[in-house]
Copies of this chain bind each other. A is one copy, B any other.
Amino acid sequence: MEAMTEQALSKKNVLEFIREYFNTVVPFNILVGLHVTKMTPEVVEVHTAMRKELIGNTVQKILHGGVVSTLLDVASGLVAMAQSIEKLDDLTPENVEIHLKNVGTIDLRIDYLLPGRGEEFTAYAYVIRHGKKVVVSRMELENEKGDQLAVGTGTYIVG
């Protein structure tokens, strides 16, 4: 592994800070019980375990569609943020804060492929359009068996 520059180290710290913030401060993330388990400019992973409160269909015991969209939305928003941080030249706290405040979801499309059955759910997001103003990401949701339950696309304003 090559030595990281101070800038690269700092960027890694910023991403780690955001990850912690999303896991321990954002109220709805806590309510849902989701955990951002990985956050790099290449990929973001968001995980949740099945529990009774997340059920949308009590007969078939499947995940509520709103939980699916929440997991995909969080993962794709964070990968847009990570891209935005990655492109920053000047990593002062003020500059980071301004850039994060400017990140906003424009639109989201979710394709539900299979009923949300399983014990563990992981959303993955990666960037397919790297723009200065707009980032587009692609998302996938899998259960613990690797079944692809949903895919999606998100468009974000950045910068």
Secondary structure of the A contact surface, majority rule:
mixed
Distance (whole angstroms) from the CB of A106 to the closest CB of chain B: 6
Provide the bound-state CA to CA distance between A105 and B54, in Å. 17
What is the chain B residue whose CB lies nearest that of A54? Answer: B28
Indicate the size class of the contact surface on chain A: 35 or more
Provide the bound-state CA to CA distance between A155 and B149, in Å. 16
Is the CB of A70 closer than 8 A to any CB of chain B? Answer: yes
Annotate A34-53 by CB proximity to B: 1 below 8 A, 0 otherwise. 00000000000000000011
Provide the bound-state CA to CA distance between A157 and B107, in Å. 13
Interface positions, chain A 26-73, Cβ under 8 Å from B, are: 26-32, 52-60, 64-67, 69-71, 73
What is the chain B residue whose CB lies nearest that of A138? Answer: B151
What is the chain B residue whose CB lies nearest that of A97? Answer: B59
B56 and A31 within 8 A (CB): no
Residues of chain B within 8 A of A157, CB atoms compared: 131, 133-134
B-contacting residues of A (Cβ < 8 Å)? 25-32, 52-60, 64-67, 69-71, 73-74, 77, 101, 104-113, 115, 128-129, 131, 133-134, 136, 138, 148, 151, 153, 155, 157
